[in-house]
Structure 1
Amino acid sequence: MTTGGYGQFAGTSIGVTAAGIGPRAVARFIDWIIAAIVGAILFWVLDIAGVPGWVSVLPGAAFGFLYFVFFEVITGSTPGKKFLGLHVVGSAGAGKPSIVESAKRNAYMLLTLIPWIGGILWFFAAIGIAVTVSASSTKQGWHDTFAGGTRVVKG
């Protein structure tokens, strides 16, 4: 349960269920829109400052990763997850993920920083997450397993 706002999530209390791919995808889409707007502003400011295009993309891409890690570690939910009543639970089964767990579960996003093929690698990593979440009885993706057993729950 939450205590209001972005309070600590207690984890495995009664009524908590694993979140499936649908709500998780919608939450991620909402978060990507927010992160993309900030990334676009960063790109625009750096572009006006005369920074070369390929360099000005890097802070925006890094911001996306930091956005997810920050909200998961500090509040247990990104704004998109909070909107849909979802929470990331740490590998201990209760509470928020640690910074290491969140960084690991979101590390695939950093693939976009690789010139030329990063977007393609990220796309395949995201497809792999969708497939593994859908196929898992616990609704955990490969990134959750990589992070030590984090879960996204609704409750």
Structure 2
Amino acid sequence: MTVASSTSAPTPAEFPVRLLARGLDVLILAAVEVGLGQVMGYGFDWLLVGSAFVFFYFSLFDAGLGATPGKLALRLRVLGPAGGRPTLRQSLWREAFTLVGSVPFVGPLLALAAWIVIARAIARSPQRQGNHDAFAGGTRVVQLPRAEGPRGSACS
């Protein structure tokens, strides 16, 4: 009788689940952004503060926990080139592309273009790494295996 190892290697995360995780994070960020706008007005300062908040949200969660709340919910983790959590520096480089969306007037178009380029790179990479992962020195996003519960155990 064989039992699946609980230490099996995580598999590279596919783009759709990564996009869904980002979407969950965007819901959180949208609530914060609206709150900021209500407090400080929707001017240039709001754009700067909101952009910094988005950038540091992704960077600090990935470096500190290995995942944002959206990634945690979907059992995704960001790994650094050595296999552990990425360093803060790697996370900052990895998320630098989020700042292009803040460019006045053309930001949304630039962000869309960045997402298309990243999605295509992820689809072509055996490890599902995007350009932003390469830019950060080789980070990658992985899907953690499901933990086996009582039904999956060999003790039945």
Normalised to the residue count of structure 2, the TM-score between the two structures is 0.84
Q: Does 1:80 align with 2:74?
A: no
Count the aligned residue pairs. 138
**1:96 and 1:39 mapped to 2: Cα distance?**
27
2:141 paired with 1:152? yes
Asked if 1:22 corresponds to 2:11, the answer is: no
Structure 1 residue 85: deviation in Å?
0.4
Measure the CA separation in 2 of the matches of 1:76 and 1:122.
Answer: 23
Counterpart-to-counterpart distance in 1, 2:133 and 2:46: 30
Question: SS at the partner of 1:102?
Answer: helix
**Residue of structure 1 in register with 2:129 after alignment:** 140
Return the alpha-carbon distance in structure 2 between the equivalents of residues 17 and 55 of structure 1: 41
What is the SS of the residue equivalent to 1:91?
coil
Q: What is the aligned partner in structure 2 of residue 108 from structure 1? A: 97
In structure 2, the gaps of 5 or more residues are: 1-6, 145-156
Quote the Cα distance in structure 1 between the aligned partners of 2:30 and 2:21. Answer: 14
The aligned amino acid for 2:66 is G
4+ residue runs over 3 A deviation: none
Query: How many Å apart are 1:55 and its aligned residue?
Result: 2.6
Question: Percent of pairs identical after alignment?
Answer: 41
What SS does the corresponding residue of 1:115 show, helix, strand or coil? coil
Q: 1:32 aligned to 11, 14, 26, which one?
A: 26
Query: Is the aligned partner of 1:43 residue 2:23?
Result: no
Specify the SS of the correspondent of 1:87.
strand
RMSD over aligned Cα, in angstroms? 1.3
1:28 maps to a residue whose letter is R
